[in-house]
A and B are shown apart, each in its own frame.
Chain A
């Protein structure tokens, strides 16, 4: 089946650091990738939708300068949390989908900002 690889699985870093998370579709071309944030015991909150080769569409309330998303190829999207602060600590999950197909999720990244 379709596989999405998300890396790293866990990051612990100091406040003020920028952190990059990668999301790769390993065996299919992902025309669209999604980035979600999940708070403890809550459902997924969509942060942004990125289509290959174009700028990401951010959901209301998500700072685009804070959460930089790049989707340069059909198999890779990155999320960079710039100048991270403790309130950015969360579980971030990406998903990828082809035209009309199901979403395939990565295993998530646990981000902890000290």
Chain B
């Protein structure tokens, strides 16, 4: 089944403890992206990647890192999480350069205390 898989689904952590949220897709998509969703603010893009080893900042990149060493994986790294990063996170992927739609994962709900 074609899908975008995020792990974990739920994560509770403490301020300053490094964490990684994984994202994997099995559709051979070039484009991958991370979003965060907060009440009243909709989905905001954190980082995106147009292909392996090509990443760029979205609208709210502060406090986050990403890497794209393989085409299928696009992990989101929080080196020193803070409470304002408590949010619902979504990974998405699509083919680059076409009008094909974004496919979203099922989300990771992160709580930083």
Partners in one complex: no
Interface of B toward A, CB cutoff 8 Å: none
